[in-house]
Amino acid sequence: MPHPKHILVVSCLVRNRENAILCVKHKNRGWEMPQGRVEEGEALIDALHREVHEETGMTIADPRLAVIWSKLSEPAALIHGFVAAVGGGDLTPSDETPEVAWLSEPAARERITHPVNRDRLHDLLAAEGRDGGAVRFYSYTKRPYRRIDP
């Protein structure tokens, strides 16, 4: 029996000193938090730092794993959601993310409209208040999007 295959993804809610949220406008999905696939053999935390920097030009400090989402529809994926503070850098768009911005929480909630990314933002905002508490786990399917709460 072959081993199951899951894509590993990292996503991060990054805040600056003014409490704004780091967001990117993906060329296909619209506004979202920085996220991306983990490369084969790459540690999750290394992928997190790489993806945030590649998509935004920023570095992060003190990342904490807060939520894991399991995408059950093909291709199956495990998405690891982190919360972090900004470390430094300059906002720098990329080919995948032609717009990068610090948004207030209300503005981020308004601009992030894709159902999957909207729920991820909601879950990570809720996780910020759990001072190192338990990691939350959620599952969902796509086409149509349906969240399966535990």
For residue 33, which of 90, 92, 114, 87 has the smallest C-alpha distance? 114
Q: What percent of the chain has pLDDT over 90?
A: 74
Residue 1 lies in a domain: no
The answer to whether position 131 is within a domain reads yes
- pLDDT for the residue numbered 35: 97
CA 79 to chain centre: 8
Per the structure, the count of domains in the chain is 1
Place of tokens 């709460």: 149
**Tokens for 27?**
């060329």
Q: What is the CATH number of the domain that holds 87?
A: 3.90.79.10
User: Could you give the 3-state DSSP secondary structure of residue 98?
Assistant: coil
Lowest mean pLDDT of 1-5, 41-45, 68-72, 106-110, name the range: 1-5
> What pLDDT shows up at residue 133?
64
Query: In this structure, is residue 2 part of a structural domain?
Result: no
In a domain, 37, yes or no: yes
Residue 29: count of CB within 10 angstroms of its CB: 16
Query: pTM score, two decimals?
Result: 0.89
28 located within any domain: yes
The more confident residue out of 48 and 137 is: 48
Region 113-133: mean pLDDT is 86
> Does 77 map to a domain?
yes
- Asked, for residue 82, whether it belongs to a domain, the answer is yes
What value does the mean pLDDT take over residues 89-100? Answer: 95
Domain membership of residue 81 as a residue range: 7-148
DSSP 11-69: EEEEE-TT--EEEEEETTTEEE-SEEEPPTT--HHHHHHHHHHHHHSEEEEEEEEEEEE
Instruction: Residue 34: name the closest of 81, 67, 77, 66 by CA.
Output: 81
